[in-house]
């Protein structure tokens, strides 16, 4: 079985993907471009059934509550539609609930070894498997200081925006 996970391999999206990769840092307050998805999600160069709907993608953290001095939060992004591959943006956006208003924080990937990009999740010859991937949120990559309260990781999957909520409490 061949596992495909990483940079998107779409012939249709290849030029867009390459032009969107840069080492200058991800502008965390903005959504990534979904221009390459405007005509659907086709163009795969591997033998995997592509997801067309994207509303079956879910995201969740490994725990609901973290201490203020956490090191890393793991976010799982999963397609509940078995056998369907999907695109996802490989850097989450972090939002904080400030009295009922979700505020985007500057989660800076300055220390990331690779530039931000759309990635692809799927496995060839696995039509009954639910495909998933994980992302990590590292405490030292937020430019502001973490404080107690409600947060959410904002995950981009195709044209859909998915949220993985979590709380931070005082130790």
Mean pLDDT of 103-121: 75
- Burial class from Cβ neighbours inside 10 Å (0-12, 13-18, 19+) for residue 10 reads buried
Segment 50-93, tens digit of pLDDT:
888 889 999 999 999 999 999 999 999 999 999 999 999 988 89
pLDDT of 24 over the 60 cut? no
Cα separation, 162 vs 29, whole angstroms: 16
The pLDDT value given to residue 75: 97
pLDDT of 110 over the 90 cut? no
Mean pLDDT over all residues of the chain?
Answer: 79
Q: Which CATH architecture has domain 3-169?
A: Sandwich (2.60)
C-beta neighbour count of 158 within 10 angstroms: 23
Residue 158's alpha-carbon distances to 136, 140, 145, 167, in angstroms, are: 19, 28, 30, 26
């Amino acid at each position: 079985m061949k596992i495909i996970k990483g940079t998107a391999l779409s012939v249709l999206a290849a030029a867009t993907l390459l032009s969107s990769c840069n080492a200058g840092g991800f502008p965390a307050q903005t959504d990534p471009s979904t221009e390459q998805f405007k005509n659907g999600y086709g163009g795969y160069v591997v033998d995997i059934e592509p997801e067309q709907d994207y509303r079956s993608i879910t995201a969740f953290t490994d725990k609901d509550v973290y201490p203020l001095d956490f090191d890393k939060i793991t976010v799982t992004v999963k397609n509940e539609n078995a056998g369907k591959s999907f695109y996802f943006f490989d850097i989450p956006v972090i939002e904080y609930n400030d009295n009922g208003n979700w505020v985007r924080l500057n989660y800076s990937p300055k220390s990331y070894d690779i530039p931000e990009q759309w990635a692809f999740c799927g496995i060839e010859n696995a039509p009954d498997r639910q495909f998933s991937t994980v992302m990590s949120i590292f405490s030292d990559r937020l430019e502001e200081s973490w404080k107690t309260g409600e947060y959410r990781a904002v995950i981009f999957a195709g044209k859909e925006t998915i949220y993985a909520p979590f709380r931070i409490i005082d130790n």
